[in-house]
């Protein structure tokens, strides 16, 4: 029986068309509804407003800050994995998976405890005499980046580990034998090898930061506003659906542009080396 | 010229970077989980950390049906939605996996991005789009609408987990079964599904966890009566920083750990052979 597989795929395809592609098309259509017929009114209003424009820039900045910090911490963890034996490797995977599979709201809650006035950071600073009185990092950009980085870190570690686990340890031996130091091996052999994983991770991290509504709302507070909250405000309190749609399309486009750029970079063979 | 190996300083610096900084990064990664668990056993009234004494009072408060009625309803709704989302993704994604395994590579490459697209799209945007269309067609937010939303957004997780396994299945196994005279149903039940089981289990686990945790889709598609657990926790955090949230976190982390250990048992490659 070499039956065609198409009938099996059909239900999921129909589901995707009816409940995924169609709503998105409608969303895009909605975003062009102006007060007098189809227009770019919503986009003009959104991008013309100085506050909204700042929110958009803040969101992009937050995404880039999260990408930078997860990369800075993710690479040494991946290298720790690379230089470890079988058991230690399994422990590292386990330690990465626990936070990743723990609810986002739970992780956000943990950060409220950590960043608060009575939390461990503030208490330690006071105990060491580095701060005169207890302080809170809630509603600050620093606090938010600290939280977002921890929440998104597994997204960058796992693609890196996936690459390293497929690579035999002998891979760096040639470089070692020819006398290259560890930093040189890192820059010329390991990092180019990990680049596709970094790209995959960056896409995931950026997509995640542009959707982490709860963390941004709770830890960012009222003073730090990001695009997801703006969308929710238009829907939930202002009931301006066309405007919400336009903001959503802008969010989608900015994520999409990054996605395409990353894919193009990863296909550029000279940058990725031999991958 | 001397080789860098003769100079121990860069080597020391590298080790400090990998094992020192890398180790600290691992602690930073896991510490919030440990803090959330230990916080839940506090005897105090506030989120002061380190906790003031040890007690189970917040777990008691959380399990008390009178004091935490709303939370129980929310947990019930979330579990129901997650179970239905798993069922839905079984019905849609598993057949798709089986079908794709029978198609030409070029066709699969053309169709797959379309099926996986919901994974890349910010789900908040999808929630809004689904709300607009549902309202257009005349549906109000409800539990069922939320379930459909979750199947659309998380079904691809099931597809991806199962198709990783499906790619490794030798097609001649199914052929052998057919040649021996088995009907397609018998082949499906006795050959294909048992081979796919580890992928389906992994997929079910992922869909369940993600659905239980989802805020951005439920925010738009659930009605006022269908409070879900993460949104209830969000509300508790925003309103009063109720310490019961710590107990809820403790239970959710415990649940994740248990399921992870079970999944490891079931999915460990050494045990499949």
Helix, strand or coil for residue B42?
Answer: strand
Mean of the per-residue pLDDT values of chain A: 89
Position A266 scores a pLDDT of: 67
C-alpha distances in angstroms, B257 versus A95, A102, A166?
11, 9, 26
Q: Which of B29, B34, B58 is nearest to B241 (CA)?
A: B58
Q: Which of B58, B33, B53, B30 is nearest to B43 (CA)?
A: B53
User: Of B5-14, B136-145, B241-250, which range is least confident?
Assistant: B5-14
Q: Is the CB of A112 less than 8 angstroms away from the CB of B246? A: no
Domain count, chain B: 2
Q: Is the CB of B95 less than 8 angstroms away from the CB of A8? A: yes
pLDDT at A269 over 70: no
Share of chain A above pLDDT 90, in %: 60
Label residues B249-272 b or e (16+ Cβ within 10 Å = b): bbbbbeebbeebeebeeebeeeee
Report how far residue A156's alpha carbon sits from residue B63's, in angstroms, rounded to the nearest whole number: 37
Mean of the per-residue pLDDT values of chain B: 89
Torsion angle of the four alpha carbons A26, A29, A35, A37, in this order, in degrees rounded to the nearest 10? -120
What are the tens digits of pLDDT across the range A114-160? 999 999 999 999 999 999 999 999 999 999 999 999 999 999 999 99
CA end-to-end distance (rounded Å), chain B: 54
Position B273 scores a pLDDT of: 32
Q: Which CATH architecture has domain A26-272?
A: Orthogonal Bundle (1.10)
* Model ipTM value: 0.90
pLDDT at B223 over 70: yes
> Does any domain span residue B185?
yes
A57 touches chain B (CB under 8 A): no
In the structure, what pLDDT confidence band is assigned to residue A2 with cuts at 50, 70 and 90?
very low
Q: Which residues in chain A have their CB less than 8 angstroms from residue B132's CB?
A: 23, 26-27, 30, 241, 245
Position B272 scores a pLDDT of: 39
Based on the fold, state whether residues B111 and B204 are members of the same structural domain.
Answer: yes
pLDDT at A197 over 50: yes
Half-sphere exposure (CA, 13 Å, Cβ side) for A236?
A: 15
CA distance, residue A264 to nearest chain B CA (Å) = 16
Position B268 scores a pLDDT of: 60
Report how far residue A50's alpha carbon sits from residue A53's, in angstroms, rounded to the nearest whole number: 5
Based on the fold, state whether residues B98 and B191 are members of the same structural domain.
Answer: yes
Position A1 scores a pLDDT of: 38
Q: Which residues in chain A have their CB less than 8 angstroms from residue B47's CB?
A: 112-113, 116, 118-119
Stated length of chain B:
273
Q: Is the CB of B36 less than 8 angstroms away from the CB of A106? A: yes
Based on the fold, state whether residues B96 and B144 are members of the same structural domain.
Answer: yes
Residue B48: φ, ψ to 5°: -65, 130
Based on the fold, state whether residues B5 and B82 are members of the same structural domain.
Answer: no
Q: Is the CB of A248 less than 8 angstroms away from the CB of B128? A: yes
A97's tokens: 């998976």
Position A21 scores a pLDDT of: 95
Average pLDDT of B257-266? 82
| CATH number of the domain bearing residue B150 | 1.10.3720.10
Share of chain B above pLDDT 90, in %: 55
Average pLDDT of B259-267? 79
Based on the fold, state whether residues B215 and B118 are members of the same structural domain.
Answer: yes
In the structure, what pLDDT confidence band is assigned to residue B228 with cuts at 50, 70 and 90?
very high
- Residue extents of the structural domains in chain A: 26-272
B253's tokens: 């982390």
> Does any domain span residue B84?
yes
Range of the domain at B22: 1-36
Position A42 scores a pLDDT of: 92
Which of B47, B152, B260 has the CB atom closest to A118's CB atom? B47
Position B224 scores a pLDDT of: 82
Based on the fold, state whether residues B140 and B206 are members of the same structural domain.
Answer: yes
What are the tens digits of pLDDT across the range A225-260? 999 999 988 888 888 899 999 999 998 888 788 778
What are the tens digits of pLDDT across the range A161-177? 999 998 888 888 888 88
Q: Is the CB of A15 less than 8 angstroms away from the CB of B101? A: no
> Does any domain span residue B46?
no
pLDDT at B10 over 60: yes
A95's tokens: 């330690």
Based on the fold, state whether residues B134 and B28 are members of the same structural domain.
Answer: no
Q: Which of 71-90 (A) contact B at CB < 8 A?
A: 73-74, 76-77, 79-80, 83
> Does any domain span residue B140?
yes
Which one has a higher pLDDT value, B10 or A154? A154
What are the tens digits of pLDDT across the range A6-26? 899 999 999 999 999 999 999
Average pLDDT of B166-170? 82
């Amino acid at each position: 029986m070499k039956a065609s597989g198409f009938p099996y795929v059909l239900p999921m395809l129909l589901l995707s068309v009816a409940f995924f592609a169609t709503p998105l098309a409608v969303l895009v259509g909605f975003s062009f509804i102006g007060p007098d017929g189809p227009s770019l009114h919503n986009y003009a209003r959104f991008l013309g407003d100085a506050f909204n424009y700042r929110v958009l820039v803040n969101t992009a900045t937050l995404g880039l800050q999260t990408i930078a910090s997860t990369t800075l911490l993710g690479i040494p963890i991946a290298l720790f994995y690379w230089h470890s034996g079988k058991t230690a490797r399994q422990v590292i995977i386990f330690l990465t998976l626990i936070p990743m599979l723990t609810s986002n709201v739970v992780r956000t809650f943990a950060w409220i405890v950590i960043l608060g006035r009575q939390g461990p950071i503030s208490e330690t600073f006071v105990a060491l005499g580095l701060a005169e009185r207890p302080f809170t990092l809630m509603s600050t950009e620093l606090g938010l980046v600290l939280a977002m980085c921890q929440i998104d870190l597994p997204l960058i570690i796992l693609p890196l580990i996936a690459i390293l686990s497929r690579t035999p340890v002998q891979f760096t031996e040639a470089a070692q034998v020819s006398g290259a130091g560890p930093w040189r091996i890192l820059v010329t052999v390991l990092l180019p090898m990990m680049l596709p994983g970094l790209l995959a991770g960056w896409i995931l991290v950026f997509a995640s930061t542009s959707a982490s509504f709860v963390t941004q709302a709770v830890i960012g507070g009222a003073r730090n506003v990001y695009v997801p909250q703006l969308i929710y405000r238009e829907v939930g309190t202002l009931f301006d659906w066309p405007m919400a749609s336009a903001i959503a399309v802008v969010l989608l486009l900015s994520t999409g542009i990054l996605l395409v750029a990353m894919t193009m970079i990863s296909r550029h063979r000279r940058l990725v080396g031999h991958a | 010229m001397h080789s860098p190996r003769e100079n121990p300083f860069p080597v020391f610096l590298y080790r400090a970077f990998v094992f020192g900084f890398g180790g600290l990064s691992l602690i930073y990664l896991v510490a919030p989980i440990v803090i959330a668990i230990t916080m839940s056993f506090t005897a105090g009234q506030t989120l002061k950390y380190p906790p003031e004494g040890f007690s189970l009072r917040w777990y008691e408060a959380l399990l008390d049906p009178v004091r935490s009625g709303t939370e129980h309803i929310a947990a019930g709704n979330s579990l129901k939605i997650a179970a239905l989302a798993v069922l839905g993704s079984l019905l849609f994604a598993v057949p798709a996996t089986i079908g794709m395994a029978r198609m030409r590579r070029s066709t699969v490459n053309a169709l797959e991005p379309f099926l996986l697209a919901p994974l890349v799209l910010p789900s908040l945007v999808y929630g809004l789009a689904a709300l607009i269309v549902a309202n257009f067609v005349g549906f109000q937010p409800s539990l069922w609408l939320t379930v459909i939303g979750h199947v659309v957004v998380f079904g691809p997780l099931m597809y991806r987990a199962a198709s990783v396994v499906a790619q490794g299945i030798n097609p001649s196994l199914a052929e052998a079964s057919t040649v021996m005279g088995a009907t397609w149903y018998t082949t499906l039940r006795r050959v294909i599904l048992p081979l796919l089981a580890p992928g389906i289990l992994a997929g079910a686990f992922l869909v369940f966890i993600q659905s239980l945790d989802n805020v951005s889709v439920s925010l738009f598609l659930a009605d006022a009566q269908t409070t879900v657990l993460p949104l209830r926790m969000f509300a508790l955090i925003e309103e009063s920083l109720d310490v019961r949230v710590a107990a809820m976190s403790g239970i959710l982390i415990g649940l994740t750990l248990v399921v992870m250990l079970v999944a490891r048992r079931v999915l460990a490659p050494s045990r499949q052979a």
